[in-house]
Chain A
């Protein structure tokens, strides 16, 4: 694990205080290496989204630290200062909520391109169209507003926006849960392509099928803690914890998969 890009050490997050305190994340450590896809699975309320927000620098942990390339992400009180902010990008679950409904896809992306400092307006537009094309969004669709796009297209616009920064790490929080199966396949192929291009991806999901397909390593989270972690294939084939076994037993179509492979 020498070349860990992001590393979390003994991170805890508590919401509220006193008797109503909720310990969402409890002393969790993980690392994401260069070019690697890491999964974080767990059910609602397990703390996986909070953890993703901590890694993105959107939620400050109460204790523990997050390192990016070996250095604490918080410098002089702020997370990911300077160029580092660009290198870690997040994709959220609901693209409808993360895109401005009054702005066409192209502008949404070129806005991000310009923020990250790419030449003139015309250059930014050209670059945005290129990014959108990579995501399989045509020039015609790029001129549409979010509500005119399908759920899968909206999610791909969000990904294009995140990629405009040319990040080293993509943190994706349930990116496939709001879109249907064929759109999900398109997005996963895209992610696979990005991985081949050297990007690191942390995928937070309750969908074990997606985790199994895309990631090399997985952390299984329950009540704010990791109950099991390891290479995805091993964890899926030989889960050691009851909780992991239960999760895997609940994947629909599991029997069928066994029969075919």
Chain B
């Protein structure tokens, strides 16, 4: 893999993820690999989309960026995540402390792992503001209010002393964003931040993330399985399937000339661009389960254009097929220009 030109090597690269392998050590000899050879960069001040079906490894990659894999009993077996001279793949818990939350913020899935239900908004924001430093209560409150104001919460002085259950889903997610940006991080990782929220609220949250990104010159990593959403808000995207990155490129490039059959199939199953009533094109079968990956290309079984050499050997690596546009498909020539 390292012989190949790697995705996104560019002076703007803030994070370089190379050949990242994530898995669970079940017994001393038994490893369950969940993600292998994740390869992409996060550039300064960009919004990067991470798409793929459930189980493709998106969340695991996110967790490796904030060092919380252990909480899912997973760990990094190989590869590197270079961020400002640090290799995030090799940090211990003590080394993570100045990075997680301070330089890389995290916005969780809204409904599921939202704020702590028994702590007031202010108390939780206070934790995010204080981190491990001593600060006067008065200053913490002031900064908390400032943050609530930044995420456009009306009457911050009231909300500050409220509990999460008193807030709507959209408000709660705003509070989580406020906490994520409390330390003015370089990167905010948002894992399906609008799942379960109404469309109008989803649009507002996305607008807020975009606003914050440009105001503070942050990079946003947005995980979603909604291609329509990614198309609308992201600069570049990474398509994941069965634990690998299969396509990396700018949103316009991937939309006009997708270079992986999986991306093409995903696009065809979109309802926002479908003709009402016309059959939607679905992807054959199910994504291969973790631990049951077939040899060769893991999409081969589901692919319409599958060739003899697809399902043998190693999982194909990303190759720069067009400038700044990578694909792991062995037969991009078959994709022609007829798609998109």
Task: Please state if A249 and B203 are interface contacts (CB–CB under 8 Å).
Answer: yes
- CA A163 to CA B266, docked complex, whole Å: 28
What chain B residues lie within 8 Å of A209 (beta carbons)? 228, 271-272
Given contacts A182-B53, A186-B282, A210-B271, contact A252 B198 (CB under 8 A): no
B214 at the binding interface (Cβ < 8 Å)? no
Q: Please, which residues of chain A bring their CB within 8 A of the CB of B226?
A: 181, 252
Q: Which residues of B contact A206 (CB under 8 A)?
A: 198-199
Cβ of B234 to closest chain A Cβ, rounded Å: 11
Q: A181-B270, A185-B269 are in contact. Are A252 and B228 (CB under 8 A)?
A: yes
Contacts of A183 in B (CB 8 A): 53
B272→A257 contact, CB < 8 A: yes
Set B200, B232, B280: member contacting A253, Cβ < 8 A = B232
Q: Mask for A212-242, Cβ within 8 A of B = 1, else 0? A: 1110000000000000000011000000000
A252 touches B272 (CB 8 A): yes
Number of A-B residue pairs at CB separation under 8 A: 108
B277: chain A residues within 8 A (beta carbon): 192, 213-214
Cβ of B274 within 8 Å of any chain A Cβ, yes or no, is yes
Complex-state Cα separation, A247 to B202, whole angstroms: 11
Return the chain B residue nearest A233 by Cβ.
B276
The reply to whether A185 and B272 form a contact with Cβ atoms under 8 Å apart is: no
Which secondary structure dominates where chain A touches chain B?
A: helix
Residues of A within 8 A of B231 (CB): 252-253, 256
CA distance A177 to B228 in the complex (A): 15
Residues of B within 8 A of A47 (CB): none
- Which of B169, B231, B277, B283 is the most central at the interface, judged by chain A CB atoms within 10 Å of its CB? B277
How near does chain A come to B262, taking the closest CB pair, in angstroms?
A: 10
Verify A213–B274 contact, CB threshold 8 A. Answer: yes
* Interface residue? B118 (CB, 8 A): no
B75 to chain A, nearest CB (A): 25
> Which chain B residue lies CB-closest to A37?
B277
| CB proximity of B311 to chain A, nearest CB, Å | 20
Asked if B271 and A255 sit within 8 Å, CB to CB, the answer is no
Given known contacts A182-B53, A253-B272, A256-B273, A192 and B279 CB-to-CB distance under 8 angstroms: yes
Contacting residues of chain B (259-294) with chain A, CB-CB under 8 angstroms: 265-266, 269-274, 276-277, 279-283, 286
Evaluate contact between A252 and B202: CB separation under 8 angstroms.
yes
Q: How far is the CA of A10 from the CA of B55 in the complex (A)?
A: 45
A180 in the interface (beta carbon within 8 A): yes
A residues less than 8 Å from B334 (CB atoms)? none
A237 CB to closest chain B CB (Å) equals 12
A250 CA / B255 CA spacing, docked (Å): 21
CB of A238, distance to nearest CB on chain B (Å): 16
A residues in contact with B169, CB < 8 Å: 44
Query: When the two chains form their complex, are residues A253 and B283 in contact, meaning their CB atoms are under 8 A apart?
Result: no
With an 8 A cutoff between CB atoms, is A208 at the interface?
yes
Task: Write out the residue numbers on chain B whose beta carbons fall within 8 Å of the beta carbon of A44.
Answer: 169, 198
The one of B53, B232, B281, B283 in contact with A252, judged by C-beta atoms closer than 8 angstroms, is B232
> B199 and A208: CB pair below 8 A?
yes
Task: Select which of A186, A212, A250 is within 8 A of B203 by beta carbon.
Answer: A250
CB distance from B255 to the nearest CB of A (A): 7
> How distant is the Cα of A90 from the Cα of B163 in the complex, in angstroms?
35
A150: interface (CB < 8 Å)? yes
Q: A209-B271, A213-B271 are in contact. List 10 more A-B contacts (CB 8 A).
A: A181-B269, A181-B270, A182-B283, A185-B270, A185-B282, A250-B202, A252-B231, A252-B232, A253-B231, A253-B273
Q: List 29 A-B contacts (CB under 8 A).
A: A43-B198, A43-B199, A43-B200, A44-B198, A150-B54, A177-B196, A181-B227, A181-B266, A182-B53, A182-B269, A183-B53, A185-B269, A185-B271, A185-B280, A189-B279, A189-B280, A189-B282, A192-B279, A209-B272, A212-B271, A213-B274, A213-B276, A233-B276, A250-B199, A252-B202, A252-B203, A252-B233, A256-B255, A261-B273
A residues with CB within 8 A of B: 43-44, 150-151, 153, 177, 180-186, 188-189, 192, 206-210, 212-214, 232-233, 246-247, 249-257, 260-261
Task: Give residues in B with beta carbon < 8 Å to A.
Answer: 53-55, 169, 196, 198-203, 206, 225-229, 231-233, 255, 265-266, 269-274, 276-277, 279-283, 286
